[in-house]
Amino acid sequence: MLPWNYGLHWTLGTMVFLGAFYTVLVVVATTLVSAVVRSRRSLRAGGADGLRWRSDFHDLAARDRACRHQLTGELECRECPNGFDCRQCDTHRAILEQRPAPEPGARSVEDFGMTFPLDRLYHRGHTWVRRERNGTVTVGLDDLGRVLVGKPDSVDLPRKGHRLRLHATAWRMRKGRAGLSVVSPVAGIVVETGGPDQPWYLKVRPEQADLRHLLEGIEVRPWLAREMERLQRALMAAGAAPQPVDGQATLASLAASCPEECREAVCGAMFLRP
Amino acid sequence: MDRRFIPTGVARCSTSRFLMWLALWAALLAFGLYSAGLCLVEGLNQTHMNNRFAFGLWIFLDLTVIALGAGAFFTGFLLYILKRKELRGVINSAVVIGLMCYGGAMAVLGVDVGQPLRAWFTFWYPNVHSMLTEVTFCISCYLTVLLIEYLPIVLKNRKLRQVPHFLVFEHELHNLVYVFAGVGTFLSFFHQGSLGGLYGVLRGRPFAFREELGIWPTTFFLFILSAAAVGPSFILLTTWLVQKLARKPLVRPAVFESLGRISGLLLAAYVLLKTVDTIVWLRRTTPRSGFLPAQYYAWKPFGIWLLFVEIALFLVPMAILLIPKLRARTAWLVPAAAMACCGVALNRFVLTIQTLALPTLSFDRFVYYLPSWQETGTFLAVVAAGVLVYSISFRYFVLFPEEREL
């Protein structure tokens, strides 16, 4: 093995064996060091949030990665390839061009005991975004999120001037022993903070005016129906008794069936932050 | 109590029930550790091995678990190198099984060799003329690779991944996992072969000695092939067993089908080569050593029946796994996989125990060997440690990524 080892003769076999062995050691060590170096570089560049979202999205069940146009029935079957960021998606652009202009009518969607006003845009992690006249956007927790969490014991909001990244953690909440994170629906600078006692949590000056990645209008109702199914599955995985998902089942009754010790897991699954 | 550490979207039993399960195996592990401690402190006089029977239950166990643990390297090879994507559903479980098998084998080897404080001598002053050197080096390297492969599975735990450093490191390590899969395949191929070669070069033991192909005896290649064939069967078997214990599906039926087909094809190749090898051994190698084949099977309890049972344990599962209609039914698939695993265990038993028991000289006698309770206890410790590691991994880490969708 080693040149000073008693009885070592440098034959072809010895050289091949030692060469192979040392090559393996070098490859393993180099790969490991490379992973460490790349991790440090990624951390310094602030890539942890992006990675977390990509990893969380990748870990979602295939049916939960369904494209928004599959939910509306515009496409038969499609898995979102963009991590729910439709701004660069050609399919989304093409479908929007063909979609008829919305007819004035309902101002909100009311289903399962929840109200979703249609003057807002919705993120699939259960936050809403409303454009304001002064160019900022207001961010809040939608009805499903609010009922599921109830009144949080404490909220950890970002400071004014904090730069939010899309799909990074927007704010954290604590309810009982459960620690919950809410995914940011927009990227931008926080200009004002609200909280659970107000109807909104953050006012943000967005980096981009393009908010096409958020759900709107006709997409809200089918998305909501799908979310109720997802909630059922999350509750069943947490050990809650199954309940029928139909007009009879309200969100409040479902949320009440959630065991206290499973709140973190269920909310984590629904907020896309397991 | 420990709910917050359990992956989201999966159901697990209550903490108290889990602790009771762990306590059962922990008691067995404690007994095993006591047995192993006795062997290490008092020496090998605690065992029923002697100068003639230098290999016993432990080496048989090592060879068997290493063959069964080959599922880890072979599944990694199929997934990351040959891009068989359907095996993504079992790769994490395969890595844990590999780690248990190789970790157990190393631990038992440590007790067998003894003198743990001088363990580093193996690496610093190795016997360059011994096949065991190749085995030691490859197994230790591969165990290191398995530990590195296990790391992302641990770091992906729900709580650990909230630490940004762990999250990023896990991601980067996972991106490079194909390198480890390649290295693991190389190492595993070599040490499976070296373990086989170890018996094939025993010129003084005609029952094990085999002709050479290149610089290696045929057992070198047969061990590689049998391990590659049986590894997927063991993954299939353990996955099915965990499904039964967890009372829920963990992988799609296509995964079982794929593992069964791969195992069947490789078993066919193994049976073919083993047949040729056996014919050459009976017609050429044995007569040259001055023996009649019948002499090997003249000693009870190792009669000719053992040879036929070994053949059946490879032939029958091969036939079942190669017929799509039978493979598609769990009632056929699982017993076939179990038979293949038993086949490889019997093969390793025959090569270890029967080889040493048979007399080779005219004044020699047939030697009986039964393991002592200390040897058996150490054996059980490996089994218990394996079950504990797997149980904890199954509860807190994602071993079956498709579980949430089923």
Q: Do A24 and B141 touch (CB under 8 A)?
A: yes
- Express each pLDDT in B226-257 by its tens digit: 999 999 999 999 999 999 998 889 999 899 99
Which domains does chain B carry?
A: 3-405 (1.20.1630.10)
Q: Which of A117, A119, A115, A213 is closest to A167 using CA atoms? A: A213
Chain A hits for B167, Cβ within 8 Å: 48, 51-52, 55
- Express each pLDDT in B163-195 by its tens digit: 889 989 998 888 888 888 888 888 888 888 888
Helix H or strand E encompassing B290: none
pLDDT at residue B357, as a whole number: 86
pLDDT at B387 over 90: yes
ipTM at complex level: 0.78
Helix H or strand E encompassing A185: none
Both tokens assigned to B96: 């844990």
Written as tens digits, the pLDDT of chain A (274 aa) is 566 676 677 778 778 877 888 888 899 999 999 999 999 998 888 778 888 888 888 888 888 888 988 988 888 888 888 888 888 888 888 888 887 777 666 777 777 778 888 888 999 999 999 998 888 999 999 988 888 888 888 889 999 999 998 888 899 998 888 888 899 999 999 999 888 888 889 999 998 888 888 988 888 888 988 888 888 888 877 766 666 555 555 666 666 667 777 788 888 888 888 7
Q: Do B9 and A233 touch (CB under 8 A)?
A: yes
Distance CA B229, CA B67 (A): 9
Say which amino acid occupies A240.
Answer: A
Mean pLDDT of B154-168: 88
Task: Check if B161 contacts A (Cβ < 8 Å).
Answer: yes
Number of DSSP helices (H) and strands (E) in chain A, helices first: 8, 11
User: Is the separation of the CB atoms in B395 and B18 below 8 Å?
Assistant: yes
Q: Do B145 and A238 touch (CB under 8 A)?
A: no
Burial class (CB in 10 A: 0-12, 13-18, 19+), B359: middle
Q: Do A61 and B127 touch (CB under 8 A)?
A: no
pLDDT at residue A241, as a whole number: 62
Distance linking the first and last C-alpha atoms of chain A: 49
* Half-sphere CA count of A172, side-chain side, radius 13 A: 7
Phi, psi for residue A212 in degrees, rounded to 5: -70, -10
pLDDT at residue B383, as a whole number: 93
pLDDT at residue A185, as a whole number: 92
pLDDT at B29 over 90: yes
Q: Do B179 and A27 touch (CB under 8 A)?
A: yes
Distance CA B183, CA B138 (A): 10
pLDDT at residue A244, as a whole number: 57
- When the pLDDT of each residue in chain B is averaged and rounded to a whole number, the result is 89
Residue position matching structure tokens 């809403």:
A128
User: Is the separation of the CB atoms in B230 and B344 below 8 Å?
Assistant: yes
Q: Do B128 and A239 touch (CB under 8 A)?
A: no
Both tokens assigned to B337: 């996989």
Cα A73-A75-A80 angle, rounded to 5 deg: 110
Chain B hits for A264, Cβ within 8 Å: 3-4
Q: 3-class SS at A130?
A: strand
Cross-strand pairs, A122: A128, A215
Alpha-carbon separation of residue B340 from B260, B272, B318, B332 (angstroms): 11, 15, 8, 12
With a CB cutoff of 8 Å and minimum separation 6, the contacts of B53 are: B356, B357, B367, B369
Task: Check if B405 contacts A (Cβ < 8 Å).
Answer: yes
Q: Do A265 and B6 touch (CB under 8 A)?
A: yes
- Express each pLDDT in B390-402 by its tens digit: 999 999 999 998 8
Q: Do B168 and A55 touch (CB under 8 A)?
A: no
In chain A, the residue whose alpha carbon lies closest to the alpha carbon of B134 is: A17
Task: Check if B187 contacts A (Cβ < 8 Å).
Answer: yes
- Express each pLDDT in B329-364 by its tens digit: 999 999 999 999 999 999 999 988 888 888 888 788
Task: Tell me if the bond preceding A222 is cis, omega within 30° of 0.
Answer: no
User: Is the separation of the CB atoms in A201 and A193 below 8 Å?
Assistant: yes
Q: Which of 41-70 (A) contact B at CB < 8 A?
A: 42-43, 47-48, 51-52, 55, 59, 61-63
Helix H or strand E encompassing B202: none
Both tokens assigned to B257: 């089908």
Chain B hits for A274, Cβ within 8 Å: 7-9, 158
Say which amino acid occupies A83.
Answer: G
Cα B215-A5-A17 angle, rounded to 5 deg: 30
Distance CA A47, CA B399 (A): 26
Alpha-carbon separation of residue A132 from A137, A206, B39 (angstroms): 5, 11, 77
Task: Check if A35 contacts B (Cβ < 8 Å).
Answer: yes
Distance CA B39, CA B23 (A): 24
Residue position matching structure tokens 């029967």:
B354
Option in A8, A17, A239 nearest B134 (CB): A17
Choice among A88-92, B108-112, B298-302 with the minimum mean pLDDT: B298-302
For residues A95-106, one letter each, b for 16 or more C-beta atoms within 10 angstroms of the residue's C-beta and e for the rest, the string is: beeeeeeeeeee
In chain B, the residue whose alpha carbon lies closest to the alpha carbon of A41 is: B168
